[in-house]
Chain A
Amino acid sequence: DIQLTQSPSFLSASIGDRVTITCRASQGISSYLAWYQQKPGKAPKLLIYAASTLQSGVPSRFSGSGSGTEFTLTISSLQPEDFATYYCLQLNYYPLTFGGGTKVEIK
C-alpha cells in the first residue's frame, strides 16, 4: 500500500499566518492527489484535486502543488473558518489511501 505521511500532524497558527502542510508518498503517484478539509462532526470537504486544481467555490487562499512523492497545501492567509483537520488522499494506486491528517489550531 502507498503510505502518505503528512507533516506536521499538528500546527498552531494565528489569523493571517501563511500555513504549509506537506504530504509525502512512499512512491511516486504522479499528480493524483487530493486535499480535504474536515471540521468536527462533518464530512471531509474537497479543496484541491489533481494536486493543484482548486475545487469550485473554494477560496483562492488555498493552493496545492507538487507531483511524484512530495506535495504541499498552502493557506496564504489563515482565516477563522480554516481551523480544521486537513487530509491528503492518493488516487494513483489501489488501495486508495489517506494521509494521517494535520490539525490546524488557533495559537
Chain B
Amino acid sequence: QLQLQESGPGLVKPSETLSLTCVVSGGSISTSSYLWGWIRQPAGKGLECIGYIYYSGSTYKNPSLKSRVTISVDTSKNQFSLKLSSVTAADTAVYYCAARINVVGGWFDPWGQGTLVTVSS
C-alpha cells in the first residue's frame, strides 16, 4: 500500500527558502502510474495545488508560485522534494505531499499526513 511522509523544518525565516522532502514507501517512485505532488493549506483556509513531478523529472508548477518553486525527484532514495524561495508569512501553511494518478483527470490519493511550516523571524 502506497504511503507518503513529509519531513522538513517547521520554522523558516522570512526571505529564506522552505525545503521539504516526501518519502514514498510501499511502491516505487519510478512508476508511470503516478505523478508526485505538493499541496498546501494555510491555517483555517482552503487547499492550493503547488505542483507535481513525474519520475523522469518533468514538472508542473502553479503559475502563482512558479517563479519561487523547485520540485525535484530522487529515484535512488524513492523521494521527491519541494523548495520554495523568498518565503513570507503568507507561505505559512500545512504542506502535504500526495500521489496523483497518472491518467487524464487523475486525482490525488494517497496523501501524506502533512507538515506545518511557519514563516517567522
Contact = CB atoms under 8 A, between A and B. Distances in A.
Interface of A: 30-32, 34, 42-46, 49-50, 55, 87, 89, 91-92, 94-101
Contact of A32 (B60, B104, B109, B114): B104
A77 to B, nearest CB: 25
B56 interface: no
A31 B105 contact: yes
Interface string B71-111: 00000000000000000000000001010010011111111
A98 B108 contact: no
A99 B105 contact: no
Name the interface size band of chain B.
Answer: 20 to 34
Contacts, number: 52
Nearest to B60: A94
B107 A95 contact: no
Nearest to A34: B107
A80 to B, nearest CB: 23
A95 B64 contact: yes
Contact of B108 (A50, A89, A92): A89
B108 A46 contact: yes
- Name, among A44, A50, A98, the residue most crowded by chain B CB atoms within 10 Å (CB to CB): A44
B49 interface: yes
A87 B41 CA distance: 12
Nearest to B104: A32
A44 B96 CA distance: 9
A45 B62 CA distance: 22
Given A43-B114, A92-B105, A99-B46, 12 more contacts: A30-B105, A31-B105, A43-B111, A49-B109, A55-B109, A89-B107, A94-B60, A95-B62, A95-B64, A96-B49, A98-B47, A98-B48
Contacts of B62: 95
A34 B108 contact: yes
B49 A98 contact: yes
Interface string B26-70: 000000000000000000001111000000000010111000000
Smallest CB-CB A-B distances: 9 pairs: A32-B105, A43-B111, A46-B109, A34-B107, A49-B107, A98-B47, A96-B49, A95-B62, A91-B105
